[in-house]
Amino acid sequence: MIGIIIELIISWLILKFIAKKNLSVLGFMPSQTRFIQWSIGFLLAAVICSLYHIMTTVFINNSWILNKQLTFSVALMSSWWVVKSVLFEELLFRGALLYLAIEKWGNTKACVFSAICFGVYHWFSYNAFGNPFQMGIIFVMTAIFGWMLAVSFAKTKSLYLPISLHLGWNLFNIVVFSNGPLGKQLFIKANENHLEGIPSLLVFIFQIVALPLVMYGYFKFKNRIKQEADLD
């Protein structure tokens, strides 16, 4: 939590002395629109992440079972860990620096730059150096995800949507389906059977592109509604 507070202070200083702005440009002020955006982002991420994990077992002799050894306090601490990690990464990659990059380079270049930085950052967080194949996979997965989050900030002028997308995915991926650094959480696989071959590849591709494609469709739909409203 101290790291997040430090990030907020540094963000405020950067915006104040470089852009002559304050933290309000990051879209912190709550509103009905932002609440709706947050809800949509969290729900979409949670649903698609759940579909991905269900697909990893539904086509083989495996299933998800409740981890009866998980206590409420451990689940709460795990959830809080996810919240803190998401806020830290969002303030770092979709906060003041992305705002300044958008002001200087425009949405497209700034979002691509943010996505690249997000992908490289995960080489460190996954300790993937020395394994080029693993580095490539991690970069593609996290850069595409980071691009979606950056575009979400650029389109909405707020951190609400990227935070909700990031939180929805990470919470369900790590805490609900035990796929992360925290070990066994709410649901665990019944056995060690796993997908292989073409089905494994297809499910892997779904994991990478499904949510970004859904968000692309969401923004296209919003743009069409806006254009029709302007015509009226």
Closest by Cα among 223, 85, 81, 68 to 156: 223
Residue 125 has what pLDDT? 85
Domain ranges of the chain: 2-25+42-231
* Predicted structure pTM score: 0.93
Residues 6+ apart with CB under 8 A from 19: 25, 99, 100, 103
Residues paired with 64 in a beta bridge = 189
Regions of the chain short of the pLDDT cut 70: 231-232
Residue 232 has what pLDDT? 63
Residue 128 has what pLDDT? 82
Q: Classify each residue of 88-124 as buried b or exposed e, where b means 16 or more C-beta atoms within 10 Å of its C-beta.
A: ebbbbbbbbbbbbbbeeeeeeebbbbbbebbbebbbe
Rounded CA separation 108/110 (Å): 6
70: part of which helix (H) or strand (E)? Answer: none
Rounded CA separation 118/166 (Å): 12
DSSP 127: T
